[in-house]
Structure 1
């Protein structure tokens, strides 16, 4: 069905306007991160008269961004690997033998997508397990919260993989672990990359969990470091902008590198599931 020129024009116009609206705040951050303190005080959209790259060095030093960057990278990477792998294993088991019990377990798990987190109960558990203010605790917490959506995403994709592959592998002598890691897991690459990217971005941008469960500044990720930096240097918008820009650049890089996998991973298993 062909789209009329008028509809195409308005559709493209709407897309361009939306893109400009979304990109404008990023533009403000970029140009003001290169200005002097006086020029950036109004957070204007005008270009800087000179490029002050020393703002980034000052923000990194005063905001302790190097330590926070490696903390964020550790939390996002480790939790993504654990959460995505656990979700893939769970989705495979639940998808291949769809008994009433496993069907119930599947819906029970994906309820975590919609249900809010009970922070009172979660805090009690974190205290009982001595995981508060520890890097291991925040990694486990992030990995656990990633499982529901990842299971939902991978479950439908596995339904598009023929069961004959399982039967052939079992006939060849594969045990369940060999079947999953040697045969099924390589076929899940598109959806695994999609889940991993979305989980990584969600963890990198999260603010509440570190705020509640990381008291030591040496364990803070970049989101808390930026929050603390803004409280101390809120009059220096050039440094604040540089600080924010250094926080969002890794997210943009990860998204740009993996964007071609996201759409394919979201749609590949949409027919069956």
Structure 2
């Protein structure tokens, strides 16, 4: 098969190079010694070494940080998907009072900027500082409105006759949701899960303020261990960056096809 060149691909290639070059540079520098980075910051390593990874894993305490981040991300994704799906189902297929007002409230809440300072003092009052729930609750609340609109747009495409026939056969609203709506909404669940996982895994400001002790810190907060006001070890920082982002890169590469499918199907009536 002959590959035909299309000039329209040039802007796409330029954008791809612009986006991928920092990641490639980070990856190459993670295998360099500190002196090699200073002499040759943009080139290929002359002497490849894994020492930066071993030191970064130990200095960043990633064995603990990975467990914390996986637990926090897992609970956040599950709660966001479950709560957003239930809310979207109620707003789409159940006749409830005040649904229009609730949709307006979600839109306003999604549009208003909310700083982490009020959230921090709220977590202090709730005695949730240095706990997983101190960041899980804000993460779930922060992604709730967007995912409700996303799932509601997808659920509008589900035929009402399908749910009405299920009710005629004796299915209640919740049983119809579990047995019919959830299986049909797998693509949009994938999109919501990926968005929530990426946002939770990479968030640093709120987690740095609430998770103040080493035992509960996430990978993004542990990454700060490689910088100081006295100097920065760029080799350790590059290796720590790779260790931090590689799980999300693998996740996105695995789920790319389902992610694109869910975005296309969920945006039809957005």
Q: Same fold (TM over 0.5)?
A: yes
Deviation digits for residues 94-132 of structure 1, max 9, x if unmatched? 112466720220121133332111434323322222112
Contact 1:68 1:219 in 2 (8 A): yes
1:43 Cα offset (Å): 6.0
Aligned residue for 1:36? 33
Deviation digits for residues 74-94 of structure 1, max 9, x if unmatched? 111110111111000000101
Aligned residue for 2:12? 15
Give yes or no for the alignment of 1:108 onto 2:105: yes
1:233 Cα offset (Å): 8.7
1:73 Cα offset (Å): 1.3
Aligned residue for 2:84? 87
1:59 Cα offset (Å): 0.7
Name the CA distance, whole Å, in 2 between partners of 1:96 and 1:17.
Answer: 45
Aligned residue for 1:164? 161
Aligned residue for 1:253? 250
Aligned residue for 2:189? 192
Structure 1 regions of 5+ residues with no counterpart?
Answer: none
Helix, strand or coil for the counterpart of 1:132?
coil
Aligned residue for 1:73? 70
Name the CA distance, whole Å, in 2 between partners of 1:169 and 1:233.
Answer: 67
* Structure-2 change in CA distance of 1:73 and 1:38 (3 Å): same
Structure 2 regions of 5+ residues with no counterpart?
Answer: none
Name the CA distance, whole Å, in 2 between partners of 1:233 and 1:254.
Answer: 36
Name the CA distance, whole Å, in 2 between partners of 1:259 and 1:123.
Answer: 35
Structure-to-structure mapping, 1:150-161, within 5 angstroms: 150-161=147-158
* Structure-2 change in CA distance of 1:50 and 1:97 (3 Å): same
Name the CA distance, whole Å, in 2 between partners of 1:79 and 1:102.
Answer: 25
Which of 119, 124, 136 is the equivalent residue of 1:127? 124
1:229 Cα offset (Å): 2.1
* Aligned CA-pair RMSD: 2.1
187-196 or 94-103: bigger deviation: 94-103
Q: Normalized against structure 2, the TM-score is what?
A: 0.92
